Structure 1
């Protein structure tokens, strides 16, 4: 059965065509729907792709029992209830790079319009006047531009500022020095230091708790007299009220705004009445090229999320710095190790683990641990479809259930090794594995037993007395049951003592086969682990 995708809000056709080209996707392209109609329809879809006109509310997400992905053909996700999407395990994907050039070019379009009085010039000519003498402007050459946020758009603004012969300074505590050096940008140690030097300040950051009101009354007062402020990022980063006051006083010479706290901008806004302000109606991404780019980026990411479970572009999955594909083998072996530990402990009578400990080798430590821990949690927390448990919501669900998570690095593991340990009800079991870029992931230890097996489709884990004949009887029983053995690894701690066998088999092993294994002479236990992923 194909995945169903709802496309709305006039998403560019080039993006929609990517979805329609996939035989496993069924695409319905509709105009922006009224709330009630969308609520009625959303339960039939696995993904929705739109722009800003459709509000992806908490109510909508809870109605969408099949929904796996929300695609936003644009940058902001202000119209998406992110917390609820994360709770429900629904990936939220945007297109942060597609409008980069459009916004960077508009920055200089509005700045030149402002400092050369272009709106007044056009208006005067249409009115039949020749006001040349009153339209004396200034140049960008030699001015210092202060960029707040040196990400994709900020970097493109910097490149264009150099072309105008400007001095380029920037403030961004999250960007490395090397990036500043590459872009030939002077690094301001603080926002205040940037304001002290800038003739023009332009902001290019997301709207977060940290950046809301970032440029307020105090910051505007610190700006050089006669300075200019531009906000083409998100409404609320610059305090509009404080900016209006600074413009009216003359301390700030001019401003260029494309975004506002409340949109559309109120008709009686003080900003509308000021002659030294360029106001545009949130058109930063309004170019044909940008709309195509964001649509293609968002639709490609939605396609990959549905068909390949590629969640590296999801905003509400752990950040991995673009290493999603590279981490897939490590995530796989982590899920396998966690699933084996959970299955074995369940057969020992543990109802629910109380603590999960993840240890990683040196090459998997650091930022990757957040993603690997989510992978482990997703493997042990159950398969309740109503909760749509996955990489996105595993951590939140585990926390809600009181499961303690401990994550750390271990020098005892190889660089690409992982160990998942589960503890609860006075029982504990650790399962370790290793991965590599060249070969398949392998489990290397179960409890105290050293093993070496590829956890493919199904694993049978047996404990038995270390006596002759057990391996033959197990192999015969599985053969008679039509179960094909891929690998059989036998381990023991001491001759004649307890042994452990790990058997990798093709297909499923039913409860009857498991019980017959348990009934074999000298077999003490048999657990079957059926992995959910291929």
Structure 2
């Protein structure tokens, strides 16, 4: 068991139940400092391995760059607009959020806002507070029988759909990234185009992340397809619906009412035109502001940060290899094997790697991409700073160095179980290495170049090319013994009698450069390489 200890900085107001998860692990030290000024945070971040916060702390590129120990940034919530995700990825810092913790709270607020707008509850409350009794002026409409268009059928959009049916709403939806089965399960009629959903909508609610694709996806043209009694809701992310277009559509009567919980710039300016319109219900980003949601997002993200630090589990990271949930634990032996094969292949090519391809044979359809990243991590670990390469940024590092990458998947098991083969190119030279996962837990190296071998990827591995003549194995063993090197495994392979042979020798500790040089100068030994497998 590792004696490594980790320091975690908690900024903002993260629920105590989540912090307790971090404190409960003996290898984690937690500092709660919720009021650090940005300049002080910039000076002190270098002392921490992880940080956890909400939306108030902006995680900028300079802050990430100053976090020389930083491995994980945890966001107790869904949105990561306050985090420079691209720079975090370049630096190999995993960004973890809590996408499921506030799902119910946001979905419930959607209907709170919808009913308030349909029945003028917010206006009635203000009227009563002002001492008026305006029953006749504030009559509303039912939502039963109206058509709700849901844009985005992810977690929150799906929960909205489930709650909409008991209200008697007809549901149509648009989401090109979810299968038909999701629409069928939720009872939502799928629309092929966004415009088709808008044409039918009495109520429009958006539940998509803020990306370049969704920025301003609802503008003047889209709002123009709605009717004058329509209700528009955005409780997702500010900027998905263009605010200037909303103001125009409201003031010209193109739409009936708007409910917003999120804004392009928060907090919303005191003189913003949206604040002056009577048919608007504005809330100050309250979607996740329930006791339950704050507990949920805090426990979700803190558990994921703990697992990432202690076990290396990056299944919850937004910018890491795509292995979901429990699949990460199941794939750890495969990822470790791919990393070791990357180290081995890199040691055997004559110069810098120009291309790396992974071929995976096995039942896991999601495996090839993470295995490629693990192989890159192993292959490049001695070329760049070890801290500077991991599963988060391996592809970025490869791209920066002009290394071409590819992967392939062959369904079904190979001859020895799940198998991985790497092809590494260096200029006009190429080398293949391969391995297999036995009994789903034990990785073995099974191929080095054209030679079939069978050796565990552990300790230090010596790879010798030699002529297949008597006495070589004895001389190698004697030399290592005299140097005090203990041999754990020795595998000798040849293609034909008297031709070239290969020895793969697992030793308990690294050999010195002098011993390696003496091995290379033995009679009949053509080449000697050492690979660190720890």
Decide: shared fold, TM above 0.5.
yes
The one of 197, 203, 207 aligned to 1:204: 207
How far 1:398 sits from its partner (Å)? Answer: 1.6
1:399-432 deviations in whole A, cap 9, x for unaligned? 1122222333469993832221222244221111
Partner of 1:336: 340
Aligned match of 1:356: 356
2:165 to 137, 162, 166: 162
Q: How many residues align?
A: 527
1:139 is aligned to 2:142: yes
* Cα drift, residue 229 of structure 1: 0.5
Aligned residue for 2:442, secondary structure, equals coil
Q: Deviations over 1:483-518 (max 9, x none)?
A: 443332211100121111112233333334323433
Instruction: Determine if contact 2:46/2:69 at 8 Å carries over to the other structure.
Output: yes
Counterpart CA distance in 2 for 1:144 and 1:11 is: 38
Contact 1:360/1:413 (8 A) holds in 2: no
Superposition deviation, residue 481 in structure 1: 4.1
Please list, as runs of the form range in 1=range in 2, the aligned pairs for 1:86-485 lying within 5 A after superposition: 86-322=89-325, 323-345=327-349, 350-361=350-361, 363=363, 367-383=366-382, 384-385=384-385, 388-409=388-409, 414=414, 416-436=418-438, 438-485=440-487
RMSD (Å), alpha carbons: 2.1
Please state how far the C-alpha of 1:50 moved relative to its aligned partner. 0.8
Distance 1:223 1:158, change over 3 A: same
- Normalized against structure 1, the TM-score is what? 0.94
For residues 483 and 379 of structure 1, the distance between their equivalents in structure 2, rounded to whole angstroms, comes to: 25
SS of the counterpart of 1:133?
coil
Indicate yes or no: 2:27 matched with 1:24. yes
Contact 2:89/2:393 (8 A) holds in 1: yes
Native 8 Å contact 2:363 2:412 kept in 1: no
Output one character per residue of 1:140-172: Cα deviation in whole Å (capped at 9) or x when no partner. Answer: 222221111000001110111012121122111
Deviations 1:316-336 (A, max 9, x none): 113234433333233222211
Aligned equivalent of 1:501, options 500, 503, 510: 503
Aligned to 2:79: 76
Q: Quick one: distance in 2 between partners of 1:479 and 1:515?
A: 15
Alignment partner of 1:120: what SS? helix
Contact 1:338 1:421 in 2 (8 A): no
Q: Secondary structure at the match of 2:504?
A: strand
Q: Unaligned 5+ residue runs, structure 1? A: none
CA drift at 1:364: 5.2
Post-superposition offset of 1:135: 1.9
Q: Distance in 1 between matches of 2:148 and 2:206?
A: 11
Whole-Å separation in 1 of the counterparts to 2:272 and 2:439: 58
- TM-score, normalised with respect to structure 2: 0.94
SS of 1:208 mapped into structure 2? coil
Measured in 2, the distance between the counterparts of 1:498 and 1:151 equals 58
Q: Does the 8 A contact of 2:356 with 2:425 survive in 1?
A: yes
SS of the residue corresponding to residue 328 of structure 2 reads coil
Aligned to 1:222, what secondary structure does the other structure show? Answer: coil
Structure 2 unaligned segments of length 5 or more: list them: none
Instruction: Give the match's secondary structure for 1:132.
Output: coil
Once the two structures are superposed, residues 349-395 of structure 1 have per-residue CA deviations (whole angstroms, 9 ceiling, x without a partner) of x3312222222336456x53332222121112234438621111121
- Do the aligned residues in 2 keep the contact of 1:484 with 1:506 (CA within 8 Å)? yes
Q: What is the CA-CA distance between 1:298 and the residue it aligns to?
A: 1.1
1:525 Cα deviation (Å)? Answer: 2.4
